Amino acid sequence: MSLMTRLALVFLALGVSLSTATTGIDTIAAISSSSFTCLKNNGYHFYIGRVGQSNGGIDKTGVQNIKNAWAGGMSNVDAYLFPCHSSSCGTAKAQVQATVNALKNGGAKFGMLWLDVEIYNWPSNQATNRQFILDMVSECNALKVKVGIYSNNNNWQSIVGIDWNGVSKYPLWWANYNGAVSQLQQLQAFRRMEQAFHSSIFWRRKGCVLCWKRRPQLVPLKKRNNKEAF
């Protein structure tokens, strides 16, 4: 596992029992198909790869990782887009198009495209940010791509306002980087986000991430070490 920088553990549960959880990873490091096979043989079955970068570019390593993940035997493979807000970058819809085209042109099959909504170069105007997210989601729908949102209560509060529920019907990948936060604090933060999202929720923290879809289900990821991870 030493080759895995910024390794993340994901437990995607099919029910409330931990015994049914599926373990996987989220990393930007290059991983060969043989390494994915090794991971599979050691109980890993899920991978999420970065494709759209915060500088507006395409992560070709991420595209190849997604292909390698399938070739190595991963059961579920997703992609994520970290949007760019520089004036030199394309529109929200254009960035989704570029990400999806990179995957399709690269022959990289994927289950869902996660849109990363966290504090990094977003404008201060929440109305503008809301529209940007709506435009990304709209383009995913137009392209018939399954879409989910990656965020947490702090990011959501800052970027769009904690009570905004404009994309509430889509899955939420909950991000919590502080593994030391108390259970009470986690629950309070989750309850606030729950008001904006009522679909699947993946709770991300150092040791464990919880997935909710009507009933408690499960999911954990390790903190990304720096902004290069996005």
CA nearest to 81, candidates 173, 166, 153, 159: 173
Compute the chain's Rg from CA coordinates: 17
- Catalytic one of 59, 116, 139, 194: 116
* Residue 26 a catalytic site member: yes
- Catalytic one of 26, 59, 78, 139: 26
Query: Is the torsion defined by CA of 165, 77, 205, 7 positive or negative?
Result: negative
* Residue 135 a catalytic site member: no
| CA 210 to each of CA 91, 126, 129, 203: distance values in angstroms, whole numbers, following the listed order | 32, 28, 27, 4
**CA distance linking residue 191 with residue 5, whole number of Å:** 32
CA nearest to 102, candidates 147, 155, 63: 63
* Residue 118 a catalytic site member: yes
- Catalytic one of 78, 118, 135, 139: 118
Query: Is the torsion defined by CA of 112, 71, 103, 1 positive or negative?
Result: positive
Q: Catalytic residues, which ones?
A: 26, 116, 118
